[in-house]
Structure 1
Amino acid sequence: MPERTDSPLPFKTFGQRVKEARERSGRSRPVIGGLVGRSAEWVKAIESGRLGIPRLPLLLRLADVLGVEDLAELTGDERVSSASYTKAAHSALPAVKEALTTYHFTGADEEPEDVASLRARVQQAWTLWHGIGEHRTNVAMVLPDLLCDLQHAARVYDSVDRRRVLVSLAETYHLAQLYLSFQPAPELVMLTGDRAMTAAQDADSPRAIAVAAWYMNHVFRDAGERHEARVDLAMKAADLLRPGDATEDLARRGLLQLAAALSYAKVGRKGDAERFWDQADDAAKRLGKTYAHPYLIFGRGMVDAYAITMKADLVRGREAVEAAEKVDVTPMQSATRKSFHMIESARAYDLQREPVAVVHLLQKAYETSPETARFNLFARSAISDLADSGPATIRSEARLLRQEMGLPVAA
């Protein structure tokens, strides 16, 4: 009679489980990557253990593509804390949601605010977004009334004044879209992107259309939509802009070239990504070292910083870290942008398995713009993971930062 043993089955990593499920499905890495909006290199990095468990929305999409019904079949003993990996709701989300879904039928006889005053309020709202402090909270306080007043003015004014109001309305929808990013309201992100594009087209403004295309690219990229459609949208919008070196047109053209670079990076097409990044880089050079667009922040610093994101999305960790080491975001005139690019730098170091740098950069990102870090999916999951299972030398720092960010402690 054989000897009985209670020894556990061999441990399998998340990557090994993904590889087994993929091979069972009979699909190649490029096919699986394409179906989840990522590259074959991304799938390889997952299977080899260079990348860990992705955030919950992408994990769910991956499980669906692999034909896996129970997430435990992929995660095994590696626990996934949904509170850490999913989007947290900002306290003002219900008010912003109501402002976007409430229709006002104010009579045309009620005098709208003058165009110049409305424009000044929009500019002030953008200042709040880029400013130091709780930027989401500050913007949420002004968004509902601003949207209502602009919508009313767009109904009442005509001719040139109406077009100016519509441009301001499009910019305000961009703000709403930014507020809604990293919030559990994907349908509202799509709604605000679509409304912004509609307002820009109604204004017959190529510059407003270009900005709307930039923000719609973010929507489509996060939703995993076909990158060909994203690039096509960006390039068609760029073609509407006047040729030459007019500052406003050049900045927007560079922004759209950057959108194309990020789109190609997301699907692993390194050569195309770098080709479009080079074009954005050329636009930044022509604008000058110190230039930064007042609210889009396009300029030298932004282009350099997005090289980190591009390399990280291509799963080229060493190159992403090299890009991060070259970038100084300190002069950037936006606390939210500084914080975001610090988080992207942390993501680069995470690819290289350098947790000390990850914690340091996420701490700096939180100090620079608390709400940027608090609602960022990578920042939330990375800090939660390091607080529970990071190296002993940094675990206490990660736990302190987790507490400061208000993240839940795993049960």
Structure 2
Amino acid sequence: MPDDNTKTSFKDRVRFFRNRAGLSRAVLGELCGRSAEWVKAIENGNIGMPGLSMLIRLAEILRVEDLAEFTGERRLTTATYSRHSHEQAPVIARTLSTYPLVTSGREPMSADALAANVSQAWLVWHGSATQRTALVPILPRLLEDARTAVQLLEGGERRRALVSLAQIYHLFQLYLSFQPYPELVLLCGDRAMQAAQDADSPQAIAAASWYLNHVWRDANEAAEGRIELAREASSLLRPDEEEEDRSLWGLLQLAISLSHAKTGRRGDAEHHWDEARGAAQSLTGHHPWLMFGTAMVDAYAVTIAADLTLGHEATRQGDRIDLHAVPSKTRTAFHLAEVARGFHLRREPVAIVHLLNRAYAVSPDTIAYNQFTRGVISELMVTGGSTVRDEARALAHKIRLVPTA
């Protein structure tokens, strides 16, 4: 190990163990499912210590048996890597694992009424600043109504109910995301895809592919599988004939772009982002619940640049997006946090804290569960200057990263 492991930085330790293993940056990046540029950014200190799952993967590849040899004097605290859990999450989790029997004497909700209720739930998700709390009274009954309808309705009515059921599972996935329920998040993605396929709906399959792509990217699953799913789903659509199909086709191009960015393939990422933006510009508005439109595509350009570790490009893209045109509090807050991630790459802590406070003002719920926010605020409470440390600690109390006094 380095001569004095308590005084060397994380970036130096990664370089030391990579050289000891005889691996190039390109090879290490490929083994981690990332790029040589990602490894370089870590070794140059442009990005900090990754999440726990990636840290473990690095240790396995580089044959580091004790994570303390990686982390040095910086301890791995629960606050650094644990996922915040909503107080009603156990109720939502139980709902997913409950299968009430449906008797034939019960009158199912019509497919139209079910679809209207699902549309209302999407309005709640996008319109509330505390989305999870707002959805708790809605989701259990919505799932029960959909399951009953799917069991008792027939023909075209049943297929339409299945489309609504797939969307309900998307809402469950969003509620549970970034909480300590990874197996349930994957379950929701899988059930949504099954419902979409049973409905024989290309549009529902496309939406389910978008949400499964999110699950797999967060889990660092192989990019090839994510990209292939998005390509296959997009081939079922008719973007030249139907505006909804064009919207969903563009959404899947965006999914492919994000997968390429995650693995450092800048040219492919930019190409598919261009395809997504072209589709968005041809629309008369934005998708009613997926929110796909020009503003959303422009905002994701920040994420793509940040995933490519291009800090200046991420903040440049952040300057040109119109977040007022994104009709969703949770998306607005998320994209503000992504711009903050760009400033993190540039090592500008004042801008980071300012943007995260702005995001919190828009949607406290989104920021409280955002893993970048929790990680960087934990870091800035220690490494920031006096003013930054105070502001970081204040935000940490708000998002319950540290207990309030």
TM-score by length of 1: 0.94
Question: Which residue number corresponds to residue 144 of structure 1?
Answer: 140
Q: Which amino acid aligns with 1:28?
A: S
Q: How far, CA to CA, are the matches of 1:87 and 1:392 in structure 2? A: 27
| TM superposition shift of 1:118 | 1.3
Q: How far, CA to CA, are the matches of 1:9 and 1:232 in structure 2? A: 43
Contact 2:209–2:233, Cα closer than 8 Å, also in 1: yes
- Determine helix, strand or coil for the equivalent of 1:330: helix
Q: Which runs of 4+ in 1 moved over 3 A?
A: 7-10
Question: Does 2:316 correspond to 1:346?
Answer: no
| TM superposition shift of 1:188 | 0.7
Q: Which segment drifts farther, 394-403 or 267-276?
A: 394-403
- 1:271-307 alpha-carbon deviations (Å, 9 max, x no partner): 000000000011011115xx21111000011000000
Question: Which residue number corresponds to residue 14 of structure 1?
Answer: 10
**Aligned mate of 2:278, from 268, 282, 285:** 282
| TM superposition shift of 1:38 | 1.7
Question: Which residue number corresponds to residue 218 of structure 1?
Answer: 214
Question: Does 2:214 correspond to 1:191?
Answer: no
**Aligned mate of 1:364, from 350, 353, 358:** 358
Q: How far, CA to CA, are the matches of 1:231 and 1:30 in structure 2? A: 21
| TM superposition shift of 1:14 | 0.2
Q: How far, CA to CA, are the matches of 1:237 and 1:10 in structure 2? A: 50
Q: How far, CA to CA, are the matches of 2:398 and 2:117 in structure 1? A: 32
Q: Which amino acid aligns with 1:228?
A: E
- 1:241-293 alpha-carbon deviations (Å, 9 max, x no partner): 114152211110000000000000000000000000000011011115xx211
Question: Does 2:8 correspond to 1:28?
Answer: no
Distance 1:14 1:121, change over 3 A: same
Q: How far, CA to CA, are the matches of 2:6 and 2:386 in structure 1? A: 26
- 1:36-69 alpha-carbon deviations (Å, 9 max, x no partner): 2221111111112111111222222222222222
Contact 2:237–2:245, Cα closer than 8 Å, also in 1: yes
**Aligned mate of 1:58, from 45, 54, 59:** 54
| TM superposition shift of 1:181 | 1.0
- Determine helix, strand or coil for the equivalent of 1:38: coil
| TM superposition shift of 1:108 | 2.2
Question: Which residue number corresponds to residue 102 of structure 1?
Answer: 98
Question: Which residue number corresponds to residue 314 of structure 2?
Answer: 320
Distance 1:10 1:297, change over 3 A: closer
- Determine helix, strand or coil for the equivalent of 1:141: coil
- Determine helix, strand or coil for the equivalent of 2:47: coil
Q: Which segment drifts farther, 76-85 or 396-405?
A: 76-85
Q: Which amino acid aligns with 2:383?
A: S
Question: Which residue number corresponds to residue 247 of structure 1?
Answer: 243
**Count of residues paired in the alignment:** 402
Q: Which segment drifts farther, 381-390 or 292-301?
A: 381-390
Question: Which residue number corresponds to residue 400 of structure 1?
Answer: 394
Distance 1:322 1:90, change over 3 A: same
Q: Which amino acid aligns with 1:347?
A: R
Contact 1:370–1:405, Cα closer than 8 Å, also in 2: yes
Q: Which segment drifts farther, 62-71 or 300-309?
A: 62-71
Q: Which segment drifts farther, 20-29 or 119-128?
A: 20-29
| TM superposition shift of 1:220 | 1.2
Distance 1:390 1:165, change over 3 A: same
Q: Which amino acid aligns with 1:124?
A: Q
Distance 1:297 1:20, change over 3 A: same
Q: Which amino acid aligns with 2:370?
A: N
Q: How far, CA to CA, are the matches of 1:15 and 1:191 in structure 2? A: 36
Q: How far, CA to CA, are the matches of 1:155 and 1:132 in structure 2? A: 32
Contact 1:86–1:377, Cα closer than 8 Å, also in 2: no
| TM superposition shift of 1:326 | 1.0
| TM superposition shift of 1:8 | 7.0
User: 1:53-202, aligned counterparts within 5 Å?
Assistant: 53-202=49-198
Question: Does 2:268 correspond to 1:260?
Answer: no
**Aligned mate of 1:233, from 226, 229, 233:** 229
| TM superposition shift of 1:10 | 7.8
Q: How far, CA to CA, are the matches of 1:355 and 1:162 in structure 2? A: 53
| TM superposition shift of 1:98 | 0.6
Q: Which segment drifts farther, 39-48 or 381-390?
A: 381-390
- 1:97-143 alpha-carbon deviations (Å, 9 max, x no partner): 11111112111221112222211111111111111321011112211
Distance 1:287 1:245, change over 3 A: farther
Q: Which amino acid aligns with 1:380?
A: R
- 1:60-106 alpha-carbon deviations (Å, 9 max, x no partner): 22222222221110010123322232211111111111111111211
Q: Identify unmatched segments of 5+ residues in structure 2.
A: none
